[in-house]
């Protein structure tokens, strides 16, 4: 029964990891940008949520309505300024620039918010409550909600990319940005839209993580970015649903590792990550296979 519980918890945690990963995957798929500041941007979203909750007294869940659009705007602006000018100098430059951005954000957060860790919505029933299945399986409301949000986000993304005008342009630009220009599309603007969407999703990830655990200025790189990377690689680069599968595999591996020995939680996750890199470097769902 303990094993079943570990697997269930792992699957649910996978939803959180998918929220971390899908924006990273989208930005890589469309712009070939590996955004090393992705996790830090999630942390910014979390701190922003803490700010609007504690200072403006917005109810916890309603903070999403403010933070997600704000992060989308930030994503558009970042893309059109810093990241685009790095892209113009070559894809590798974006690695350096987003790494720099990551350092700046972390130190900025340290400066303004200290190194203390903070949670979101501590004490709420949603955050602490759970229900019981059988005698040994407890399912946390929060994890279930996060999983549902992740599935909804992926469904929404899929609908957006496959049906909407901008989704179509995003896919076209990802295929061939020069041909898209010839069709009248300003690929920089389309990149901006893609970044806005990516940061909207990671904002949800950051807020969710703040409720699930605690945020501190380094959470972005030492947890969120690493898990996002692992989920993307396991699931398959550029595959939307691959990020959920990757997140779930990572989550289950971690929980099973923890079941064997509580200190092996992270190790087990990375072993699976490495195993996939070695045995199936294209990921469990490769983009080609999806088409």
Partner 1 sequence: MTARGVKGDGEVGGGQETGAPLLEVRDLVVHHGQLRALDAISLRVLPGEVYAIIGANGAGKSTLLRTIAGLHHPTSGSVLFDGKDVSGLRPERRATRGIVMVPEGRRLFGSLTLEENLKVGATYARPGPWTIEQVYDMFGWMRERRGQLTAQLSGGEQQAVAIGRALVANPRVLLLDELSLGLAPVVVQRIYGMLPQILQAGLTVLLVEQDVSQALRVASHIQCLLEGRTTLEGRPADVTAQQVEAAYFGMAGAAQAGRAGEGSER
- Residues forming contacts to partner 1 in the complex (CB under 8 A) are 165, 168-169, 171-172, 174-176, 178-187, 291
Residue 132 vs 165, nearer CB to partner 1: 165
Give 172 or 267: the residue with its C-beta nearer to partner 1. 172
Handedness of CA 216, 69, 191, 156 (dihedral sign): positive
Closer Cβ to partner 1, 183 or 274, answer by number: 183
Dist CA 77 CA 75 (whole Å): 5
Q: Which residue lies nearer to partner 1 by CB, 128 or 181?
A: 181
Tell the smallest beta-carbon distance from residue 22 to partner 1 (Å): 18
Smallest separation, CB 29 to partner 1 (Å): 10
Residues 6+ apart with CB under 8 A from 119: 127, 210, 211, 213, 214, 215
> Could you tell me how many residues make up the chain?
291
Please give the DSSP secondary-structure letter assigned to residue 223. I
Residues 6+ apart with CB under 8 A from 107: 217
CB of 165 to partner 1, least distance (A): 6
Backbone CA torsion sign across 183, 287, 276, 146: positive
Min CB(134)–partner 1 separation in Å = 45
The per-residue DSSP string of 49-76 comes to HHHHHHTS---TTTHHHHHHHHHHHHHH
Q: With the C-alpha atoms ordered 204, 47, 139, 65, is the resulting torsion angle positive or negative?
A: negative
Minimum Å distance from CB 166 to partner 1? 9
Cβ proximity to partner 1, 92 vs 183, nearer residue = 183
Task: Let me know: does 7 contact 256? Beta carbons within 8 Å.
Answer: yes
The token duo for 118 is 């903070």
Which of 13, 239 has the CB closer to partner 1?
A: 239
Instruction: Give min distance, CB of 197 to partner 1, in A.
Output: 17
Nearer to partner 1, 175 or 222 (CB): 175
Rounded least distance, CB 107 to partner 1, Å: 37
Q: Which residues contact 226 (CB under 8 A, 6 or more apart)?
A: 39
């Amino acid at each position: 029964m303990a094993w079943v519980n570990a697997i269930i918890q792992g699957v649910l945690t996978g939803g959180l990891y998918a929220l971390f990963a899908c924006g990273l995957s989208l930005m890589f798929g469309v712009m070939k940008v590996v955004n090393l500041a992705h996790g830090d941007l999630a942390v910014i979203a979390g701190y922003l949520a803490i700010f609007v909750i504690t200072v403006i007294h917005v109810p916890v869940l309603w903070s999403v309505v403010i933070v997600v659009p704000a992060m989308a705007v930030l994503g558009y602006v970042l893309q059109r300024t810093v990241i685009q000018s790095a892209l113009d100098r070559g894809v590798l430059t974006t690695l350096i620039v987003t790494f720099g951005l990551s350092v700046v954000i972390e130190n900025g957060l340290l400066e303004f918010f200290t190194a203390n860790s903070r949670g979101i919505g501590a004490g709420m029933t949603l955050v602490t409550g759970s229900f019981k299945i059988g005698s040994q399986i407890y399912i946390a409301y929060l994890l279930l909600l996060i999983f549902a949000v992740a599935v909804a986000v992926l469904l929404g993304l899929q609908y957006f990319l496959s049906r909407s005008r901008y989704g179509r342009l995003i896919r076209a630009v990802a295929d061939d940005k020069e041909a898209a220009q010839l069709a009248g599309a300003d690929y920089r603007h389309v990149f901006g839209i893609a970044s806005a969407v990516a940061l909207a999703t990671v904002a949800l990830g950051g807020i969710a993580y703040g409720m699930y655990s605690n945020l501190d200025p380094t959470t972005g790189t030492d947890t969120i970015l690493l898990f996002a990377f692992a989920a993307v690689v396991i699931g398959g680069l550029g595959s939307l649903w691959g990020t959920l599968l990757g997140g779930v595999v990572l989550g289950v591996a971690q929980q099973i590792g923890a079941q064997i020995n509580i200190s092996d939680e992270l190790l087990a996750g990375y072993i699976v990550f490495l195993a996939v890199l070695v045995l199936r470097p294209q990921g469990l769902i490769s983009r080609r296979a999806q088409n």
